[in-house]
Amino acid sequence: MRYSRILGTGMHVPPQVVTNQDLTALMDTSDEWIQQRSGIKERRWVDLDSETTTSDLALEASRRALESAGVKKEEIEMIVLCTLSADHEFPGTACFLQAKLGVPGIPALDVRQQCTGFIYGLSIADQFIRNGVYRKVLLVGAEIHSKAMDLTTRGREVAVLFGDGAGAVVLGAIDGTPDGKFPHILSSHLHADGSFAKELWIKAPGLAHKRTRITAELLEAGDHFPKMNGKTVFIHASRRMPEAVLEALAANGLALGDVDLFVFHQANLRINEMVAKQLGIPPEKVFNTIECYGNTTAATIPIGLDEAVRAGRLRPGMLVATAAFGSGFTWASSLIRW
C-alpha cells in the first residue's frame, strides 16, 4: 500500500518583533490585557512600508523544508499553498510561489480555509500521493496579517492576535504496511458549517456589494478589516477541536494516551488550554508557539511542527495529533506518525 509521510519541515518569520508594549503606541491596550485574553506576548510583522508578500515568506519556509527533507526543488511535483492573505486577488498565491521557487509546469493550488487551511491542504496532498498521482508534494501555510488589520483601538480585539509567518512541509510517498512505527499520515478529518461564516470574516471587498467591490462607505466603516465575534468563536473552537481529535483517534483505533505530542492551531492560548482540559491532556504533551508568534492562521501548525522538531520535542516514531478551528466555520484534525 502507498501512503504519504512528512519528509522535512521548515519555517520563516519576519525579523521584526512586535511586543504587546509596542501595540500600546497604536491603540488603547496593555500587555496585561492581551496576555490575559490570549496568552500572546509578541508577534512578528513584516515592514509595513515594504512590498514583502505572503509568497516571499512562503518561499523561505519552502527552501528550509526542502533542505530539511533532502529533496531538490525539481523533485516537487505539486505545490499546495494555504493562505487567507493572498499576494493579489488573482491569480493564486501558489503560482507566485511557484515562479519564485523556479519550478514551472507543475500544478500550484491555493487552499483558502483560513485557520484550518493547513489540515485541509494536508488532506489534499495526502490523497494525491496515496492515489499514485504524485510522489512528492510541497505543502505550505503562509500569512501576512500586519498589512491588513485595523491597527487602531477600533480593531484591537482582532489586531492584537495576529502575526506574520510561514511554515512548510515536504510530503513524500512511502510504500509498506503500517505498524506501530510506520511513518505516515494516518488520516485527516474535515468539517465546515457555513451558517457561522459571518462570525469571523472580512465583509469587503467582494462581489456581494452592488456595482463595485469596494466603496468609500465600506472603507469608512472599516468593513475591509477582519471582524470577529470572539465569544462565539471561543465556544465553538473549544467544542469542535476536542471532537475532531477524538474522531481521528476513533477512526484509527487509538486512544488519547497513544498520542505523544499535540500540535494545535495557535489561535488563542486560552482555547488550547480549554481543549487540553476537556481531553485531559497533560501540559507537557501540548506544544504551543502562540506566545512568540501570535496567530499566523494557516502557518501555525507547520511552524509548530518545525519548532517541535528543532526543539527535540518531535522525534521519529512519535504519534502527533493536530487540530484546528477557524473562519467558515471550519474545523479539522489529522494524525501523523512521524
Same domain, 136 and 111: yes
Domain containing 292 equals 184-337
> Confidence band (pLDDT; 50, 70, 90) for 178?
confident
Q: Under 8 Å CB-to-CB from 266, ≥6 apart: which residues?
A: 272, 288, 289, 290, 293, 294, 295, 296, 300, 303, 304
Same domain, 215 and 241: yes
For 173, other C-beta atoms within 10 Å of its C-beta total 18
Q: Is 115 a catalytic residue?
A: yes
Q: What is the pLDDT of residues 181-216, one digit of tens each?
A: 899 999 999 999 999 999 999 999 999 998 889 999
Q: What is the pLDDT of residue 179?
A: 81
- In the chain, % of residues over pLDDT 90: 97
Q: Is 265 a catalytic residue?
A: yes
Q: What is the pLDDT of residue 177?
A: 86
How far apart, in whole angstroms, are the C-alpha atoms of residue 253 and residue 95?
A: 39
Task: Choose, from 115, 184, 268, 272, the residue flagged as catalytic.
Answer: 115
How far apart, in whole angstroms, are the C-alpha atoms of residue 163 and residue 86?
A: 15
Q: Of the residues 142, 158, 175, which one is the last residue of a structural domain?
A: 175
Same domain, 270 and 229: yes
Same domain, 163 and 201: no
The bridge status of strand 319-326 relative to strand 261-264 is parallel
Q: Of the residues 151, 175, 199, which one is the last residue of a structural domain?
A: 175
Q: Which residues of 223-251 are buried (b: 16+ CB within 10 A; e: fewer)?
A: bebbbeeeeebbebbbebbbbbbbbbbee
Mean pLDDT across the chain, nearest whole number?
97
What is the mean predicted confidence (pLDDT) over 287-311? 98
Same domain, 245 and 168: no
What is the mean predicted confidence (pLDDT) over 29-40? 97
Q: Which residues of 288-306 are buried (b: 16+ CB within 10 A; e: fewer)?
A: bbbebbbbbbbbbbbbbbb
Amino acid code (one letter) for 122: L
The bridge status of strand 42-45 relative to strand 261-264 is unpaired
Same domain, 38 and 141: yes
Same domain, 142 and 222: no
Is pLDDT at 180 greater than 80 in this prediction?
A: no
Cα→Cα distances 323→150, 301, 302, Å: 28, 9, 12
Q: What is the pLDDT of residues 211-270, one digit of tens each?
A: 889 999 999 999 999 999 999 999 999 999 999 999 999 999 999 999 999 999 999 999
Give yes or no for a contact between 53 and 144, defined as CB atoms under 8 angstroms apart.
yes
Give yes or no for a contact between 272 and 264, defined as CB atoms under 8 angstroms apart.
yes
In angstroms, how far is the first alpha carbon of the chain from the final one? Answer: 18
What is the mean predicted confidence (pLDDT) over 36-59? 98
Q: What is the pLDDT of residue 336?
A: 98
Question: Number of folded domains in the chain?
Answer: 2
Is pLDDT at 332 greater than 90 in this prediction?
A: yes
How far apart, in whole angstroms, are the C-alpha atoms of residue 296 and residue 145?
A: 8
Cα→Cα distances 219→29, 150, 204, Å: 24, 11, 8
**What secondary structure letter does DSSP report for 132?**
T
Q: What is the pTM assigned to this prediction?
A: 0.97
Task: Choose, from 82, 95, 265, 288, the residue flagged as catalytic.
Answer: 265
Same domain, 112 and 230: no
Same domain, 212 and 122: no
For 76, other C-beta atoms within 10 Å of its C-beta total 23
CATH code: domain of residue 294 = 3.40.47.10
Q: What is the pLDDT of residue 300?
A: 98
How far apart, in whole angstroms, are the C-alpha atoms of residue 300 and residue 263?
A: 9
Q: Of the residues 142, 175, 208, which one is the last residue of a structural domain?
A: 175
Same domain, 166 and 220: no
All three cell numbers of 150, joined, read 485595523
Q: What is the pLDDT of residue 68?
A: 98
How far apart, in whole angstroms, are the C-alpha atoms of residue 239 and residue 299?
A: 22
Q: Is 292 a catalytic residue?
A: no
Same domain, 8 and 112: yes
CA 304 to chain centre: 9
Give yes or no for a contact between 87 and 53, defined as CB atoms under 8 angstroms apart.
yes
Q: Which residue has the cell 510530503?
A: 171
What is the mean predicted confidence (pLDDT) over 105-133? 98
Is pLDDT at 102 greater than 90 in this prediction?
A: yes
Q: What is the pLDDT of residues 127-172, one digit of tens each?
A: 999 999 999 999 999 999 999 999 999 999 999 999 999 999 999 9
Q: Under 8 Å CB-to-CB from 22, ≥6 apart: which residues?
A: none
The bridge status of strand 319-326 relative to strand 330-337 is antiparallel
Same domain, 150 and 198: no
